[in-house]
Structure formats: structure tokens, C-alpha cells
Amino acid sequence: MPTTTDGLNKEQLAAALDTEGAVLVTAGAGSGKTRLLTHRIAHIILDLGVPAYNVLAITFTNKAAEEMKNRLYSLLPDAADIWVSTFHSMCARILRRHAAVIGYGQNFSIYSQDESERLIKQIVKDLNADETIVKRAAQTISSAKNDGFTPDQMVENYYDHEDIDVIADIYTEYDNRLKANNAMDFDDLLLKTYELFSRSEEVLSSYCRKFRYIHVDEFQDTNEIQYGLVRLLASGSGNIFVVGDEDQSIYGWRGANVTNMQNFIEDFGAKLYKLERNYRSTANILTLANKLIKNNTSRIDKNLWTESGAGAAPVFYKARSETGEADFVVNTIRKLISDGYRPHDFAVLMRVNALTRTLEQRFMQYSLPYKVYGGFKFFDRKEVKDITAYLRVLSNHRDEEALTRIINFPKRGIGETTVDKIREYCAESGKSFYEAVHGNIPTLSQSVMAKVAAFGKLLSDLDEYRAVADVAELSEKVIELAGIKEAYSEDTEENTTRKLNIDDFVSSAHEFVKNRGGSLDDFLQEVTLYTEGDEESGDCVYLSTVHSAKGMEFNCVFIVGAEEGLFPLTRASDDPDELEEERRLMYVAVTRAKQKLYVTYCDSRFMYGKTRPCRPSRFLGEMDDRLKKLYERPSLTAVGNGDYEHADSGKRISVGGHAAGNTAVVRNASAATGDYPAGTRVKHKKFGEGTVIGTTNVGKASYIVINFDKIGKITLSLAFAPIEKL
């Protein structure tokens, strides 16, 4: 007879059955932690008889939460009663019920990062501060909130930060305006919940009684406030089960504290379990990962292993330039696709997204489908945010940020000067912005006041409709009465895309009503808390920073730009803590690969307007001792006359012609492509006409370099390029 713990290995089973008290599981990449979490929850509910509503499971992305829910639904009849959510969603849910305790209305707005920065920008303008401070102020305030600091505490603890006194003033005014707008930012969702629990013992006790068994995934990514929330919620039953991997702690820049895992053992007296068996990657890939991460000191030691076999040896590839690097990536992908792989099997990962330009150019040239992950998310697109702003105002009349966004969209002749006058009137009269646009503002001319009044009438009409409509019907009415589609009536490709996005928004609202049947507030909360990790990439190659690829896996992974100054970043060289985080980033990148791994670097790279010489990353030598000499040599000489020094599949490269063991050097052969001498005019089916610059052989492959009349120099594989002589 099947049991709730079927399919767990020995280490997973031991952790799953340990249900009382505090437990810490260090789960290496690909070690089956989601399986452990879901089966443990099933065991608690089905075998121990604990009601499902007494169980809490916290993840870090909506996508991870949905995956966990789906797995629980397959194991449990009453899985819907389990709270499975992100930290932010959990806190938003709690605050909706108890916001009044801390002086907020239940219908508070949640500001995105963009909306928060817009408000800070306005405050900087009002305080006559230097406008260049906006970004820095936003980041510093966010850090302070994640650390649980008030403006005064921020000054005390961040005393060495530039312009900290000015930022403290901005922070104070920012919080005042948020509260006046009945709004919170992302960081507030955590901070205000902590404040709520600290202020009301009654509220905290009710959730401690409710959540008798607490589970937290990706615990290494918790910041100070999240750690504090966990301590408060677990103060009742003491049954707290956390899973994490400090080797994958890569969010120190946004407040994550890698020491929380080690602190947890001491603070809770937790029992420790290790998951070291990997179900994702081949042994050859894990060997590199283990060697790399052992160079970090801030970690609980573990060694990943697998029964999946050795697999293909990882390939290290040196290109002369970023163009050669991109050609190698694209040509390798095309070859593997011809062998049966699909575009979605591939990920190209990088430390900084500035490296995508050349790669994207090559992907377009060869018509390879791709997606740059972490670009504009659907709900961040202008037309979508405009509709959302109308809905936010209908939900929360005090949301001034949303009001000022839509007061002149679509254009109705209400400029910034008018908006400033309305703000001044509100400050003098004590009225809200919403009240002002529904009344008479004496400082406005009659003609301008007529335009403002028309806007107020539009909002009143929509308010009336809200009372009888669901969120999908209300969205349609907003688009209709505000004339949002008409704002994009000009027949352009961009406007066509925007109108399709508007239709997609309405579809998402209908889907929400069908599946959730929730309120306008619930819909807005879901839209606002939507994260980049929730987007699907489809059947295309995935181009991404390593940060955005966290938690994902691919059959074939390319790590590009493995150079000092890029990976690791320059600033990490003199900071041991930052260098360890950079190493963890490389570890995360390596462990995304299931079958094949390629790591590339260049002799020189054109970035930020200059061609710079490159030095291979120190991480290459840490992964393979035979590659240490690459980092030790500040200057490298390219092999041959072509663009590459290439390692055939299953072999590694060395520099300078000294092969060792499994290492092989492949030098450019003399050109064997005499059919296309330099100066030959040719035509390509896609790129048009051009002139041959030269040809070369790399291993068994032949390449031709053509200067096309319209798009410039491109290197093509003769085996694939559709070219003909003119």
C-alpha cells in the first residue's frame, strides 16, 4: 500500500519523519528538496492527523509556490486549506485582515519598485535635493527596511553611506506619503507585518495557534525581517522546518543574510540533515561544482554526488572576442538542435545582462528563437500599468501615485503644472487628491478646471460600475470609458503590440475571475506580487543573468563572460564576502546544467564603448586545476589566425600547446575553402549581398567571414550558411 513517504531516499526520509521541534536541512542543488517538503507535509496531515489549515509553507517565488501546491494537490484531498505562498503574499494576506491595527485601510495599494521610485523622485524634487540621488535613496531605504531600521536607525547603522542624512529625510517623508496614500511598498509588506506582530500580541498569538507546523524553502535567501517573522511565528509550537543551501545564497545585495542558516541552528537548537545526492546533473558537472564551492569558508560542508553517470565532459572555450564567443554559442546550439535537442533545452547565463547584445544579434541572424529573461515583464509594460493604475484608484481613492499617473492618460490636457497646483491645494486644504479632482480648485483656470472635473466624473462613473461588476468586467469598462485603446489608434507595429497586451490583460482578469473568483483587491495584489520567475519562456533559448535563472534547470548551459571583472565583478576582488557571493553565483550557474556545460571567455571584449583585454576568471582554475595557469597569466595569445581556440566536445582546452591528460589543443588549420577567396562577392538569403573578407577552418568546421553591405561583418559556418557567388 502506498505511503506518504514513498519515493524518498534515506536522507530525505529521516528529515521528513522528524516533525517535532526545529529542523534545518541543507539541500544541495538538485537534491529533491521540493519532494521532501511536499511529502513531509503529506505525512504530517495524513499520517499524524494534523488539520491542513494548521500547516504553513513559505517559498520565494509565485512559480515555486504554484509548483508546491500542484504537488500537494496530487498527494492530499484538502491541500487547498494549506497556506502555501511567498513571504510577501503571506504578509499581504495577513495585513489585509489586520491593517487597521497599524493605521492602514484594508484596501491599501502595493507599490512596485517603479512606483516607489516615482514617489521618491517627487519627494526629491519637493525637497530641492539633487535629482541624481533618487536611485541611491531608493536602494538605501529598501536596505534599511529589510534590516528593520527606522530613518534614525538607518543613519546610525549606515553612517558611512554617501548623503545618508539627506536620504534619512527622504525616507521619513516617503513613509509619510505612503501612509497618506494608504499604500505600502514591497519591503513594507514584511516590515509592517513584523510591526503588526510586535504591536499586537493577540494577532501574533492567533497565527501562532493557527500555524502549528511551519515550513520555509530557500532559507538561505531570508533577510533580517524575514528571519524575524519566522522566529515570531514559530514562537508558539516551535515546530519549524527550514530547507536551504548556503552555497546558493546569491542575494546579499538585496539583504539576504547567508549566516541565517548557521544562526538558525544556534537560535532554535535545530537538528541538522544534509541532502547531498543530486538528481539533476552528471558526475562531471558536479565535480566542477564541488571543487569550486569548497573555496568558500562561510558554508556547511557537503559534497554533491549522483548515480546518473559521468556524462559529457564540460567544455571550456576561449574566443578572441565577444563576436567569436557568440558564434560559438549559436553554432553549438544549432548543431545540437540538429541532433535532436529543442531550443528550450538551452540556457545562456551571464553575470551581467550587458552581454546579451552580441548574442541577441547572432540569434536573430540565424533565426534561433530566444527570450531575454528578466526584461520587461507583462505587468510592467506601460499600457498594462496604466490600466492597473485606474483599477488601483477604484480600489483605493487615496492612491495619489496612481491618480497622477492616469490624470493625463489618455491625454486630456492636464499637464505637470496643473498637477503641482492640485498638490499645493491638497496640502493647504487637507483634502486628498481624489477629493480635489471632484471639487473646485480656485487656483486653476476655468478651462483647466473643466478638464479636471471631467476626469473626476470619469472616476465617479467607474466607481458606480465597480459596485456591480467583477474585476474582468470592470477592466473592460475602464478601457472603454477612458479610451485607452484609442490612445494607440495610430497604425504602427508598436501600437498593435500594445493593443494585444491590453486584450491579454482583460483575458488575465477573466481567467482570475474564473479560477479565483476574488475581489478587485485580490486581483491587484496578485498582479503587483507577480515576479519575473513566474513567466514562461516557451520553446526558445533562455538568455538570462544567473540571478534570474536561480531555481531553474536546463539540459545544456552556456556560461559566457567568465572573465575577471565580469565574473567575478571587479568590486569583489578586495572584499572576501563579495568574492564568496560571486563564487556562489558561479556555483549556481554550473548547477543549472543537467547534461552539458560550456564555459566561455574572451581574449578581449568590447564593452561600454571600449575594447578591453580580458583575463580568464579565477573560477576556471578552481573548477579544474589544469586551468589555473589561465588566471595566472595576465596576457594570453590567441591560437592561429582565426577567432577561436576551440575544444572539441568532451575535451578541455589548454593554452600554449601543452596538452595534459584529457586536455587537447586544436589549432586553426590553413584555409581549405578556396572557393571563396577574399574579395569574392556573395549573396546570403537573409543578409543580402556582401564581400568575403577571409575563410578559416576550426577543427573539422569551416567558417567564412563576410562584410555584408547593410549589416556589417559576420562570421558564418560554411556547412549551414545559405550563400551563393555573384
Cα–Cα–Cα angle for 140, 563, 327, rounded to 5 degrees: 115
Paired residues of 543 in beta bridges:
348, 372
Residue 248 designated active-site: yes
Which residue is catalytic, options 173, 217, 327, 563? 217
Contacts of 251 (CB under 8 A, 6+ apart): 221, 547
Residue 592 designated active-site: yes
As given in the structure block, the three cell numbers for residue 247 are 552555497
The answer to whether residues 454 and 474 touch, using CB atoms and an 8 Å cutoff, is no
How far is it, in rounded angstroms, from Cα 220 to Cα 249?
Answer: 5
How far is it, in rounded angstroms, from Cα 568 to Cα 716?
Answer: 31
How far is it, in rounded angstroms, from Cα 86 to Cα 15?
Answer: 23
Strand ranges, E, within 452-578: 541-545, 554-559
Which residue is catalytic, options 173, 175, 188, 218? 218
Name the residue among 685, 684, 691 with its Cα closest to residue 709. 691
What is the 8-class DSSP label of residue 624? -
Residue 33 designated active-site: yes
The answer to whether residues 371 and 350 touch, using CB atoms and an 8 Å cutoff, is no
Burial of 433 (0-12, 13-18, 19+ CB in 10 A): buried
Residue 217 designated active-site: yes
Cα–Cα–Cα angle for 68, 74, 78, rounded to 5 degrees: 85
How far is it, in rounded angstroms, from Cα 254 to Cα 581?
Answer: 12
Which residue is catalytic, options 220, 248, 306, 525? 248
Which residue is catalytic, options 362, 498, 592, 626? 592
Which residue is catalytic, options 11, 33, 220, 615? 33
How far is it, in rounded angstroms, from Cα 88 to Cα 94?
Answer: 10
Cα–Cα–Cα angle for 297, 301, 306, rounded to 5 degrees: 130
Which residue is catalytic, options 5, 18, 19, 34? 34
Interhelix angle for 283-293 vs 576-590, to 10°? 180
In order of 188, 192, 724, the CA distances from 102 in angstroms are: 12, 8, 73
List, by residue number, the catalytic residues: 33-34, 217-218, 248, 592
